[in-house]
Amino acid sequence: MEVTIILIILIMILAFGCEYIDSSLGMGYGTILSPVLLIFLFDPMIVVPAILFSEAFTGFSSAIMHHFHKNVDFVKEDKPMKIVGLISVLSVPATIITVLIVIALPKVFVTTYIGIIVLIMGLVLLTNLRFMFSWKKIAGIGVLSAFNKTISGGGFGPLVTAGQIISGEETKPSIAITGACEIAVCVTGFIMYWILNGLPNMIIPIAMTIAGVAATPIATFSTKKIKKEILARRLVGVLCIVLGAYTLIRIFFLG
């Protein structure tokens, strides 16, 4: 597909909007942007690496800005960095393995699975159901999320953010931690795609990166302004349901 200036501008606008949602609520960048770029007739082998490349930078920027706006404290509090470290360490081998087997997996199976699990998490978040915090739960969430991210470019944020909240973590730190967790997954995934398929055209990934990073200061400030914990939880829950339902509708009804 020919890349024109108008197309690049449109992609940058989409990336800005999706990253605003992602950084403010902990999900949405890859989950929304991936199917949209596929609608534009981009090859999946271009779309997924582009999202991984840009989110490595936006995740870093988002983590810094969340810390700046005091949605989380990565310096004084041990728990946030321990969660980031655990998910990152487990996500890297999961990402490598996933890239190696991605060609053998039916896309419809993987996408359906992501849609269902995100939808279920959204429904759980709209209830008051919470489980006791467990490092095993966080580890499982990290591996599962890396699988989703590497396959489709999306599905990481909904699982990591919602999974943390359901596991007993507060909502605002969960949103902030998710951005930091994405860095290792995205860097590893992009390098693996580069090794196996060669370096893609970098115009689109760079344009997406610039727009996405520009959105993070505004988005993280929006997170700070959410006064009630229950409101943030419900917003995340509603977004999960919308993204999960949209994914399933796109598969079975829109083709």
Looking at residue 152, its pLDDT comes to 67
pLDDT of residue 9: 93
- Alpha-carbon gap, residue 129 to 254, rounded angstroms: 33
What pLDDT does 128 receive?
A: 66
Cβ 29 vs Cβ 157: under 8 Å = yes
Say how far residue 61 (Cα) sits from the centre of its chain. 14
How far apart CA 35 and CA 37 sit, in angstroms, is 5
pLDDT at residue 58, as a whole number:
96
Q: What is the pLDDT of residue 42?
A: 75
Q: Which domain holds residue 29?
A: 5-254
Q: Residue 39 has what pLDDT?
A: 66
Residue spans of the chain under pLDDT 50: none
Cα-based torsion angle of the residue sequence 181, 96, 211, 174 in order, rounded to the nearest 10 degrees: -20
Interior/surface letters 27-66, b for 16+ CB within 10 angstroms, e for the rest: bbbbbbbbbebbeeebeeebbbbbbbbbbbbbbbbbbbbb
pLDDT tens per residue, range 186-200:
999 899 888 888 887
pLDDT at 56: 94
What is the tally of structural domains in the chain? 1
Task: Transcribe 171-188 into DSSP letters.
Answer: HHHHHHHHHHHHHHHHHH
Q: What is the pTM of this model?
A: 0.82
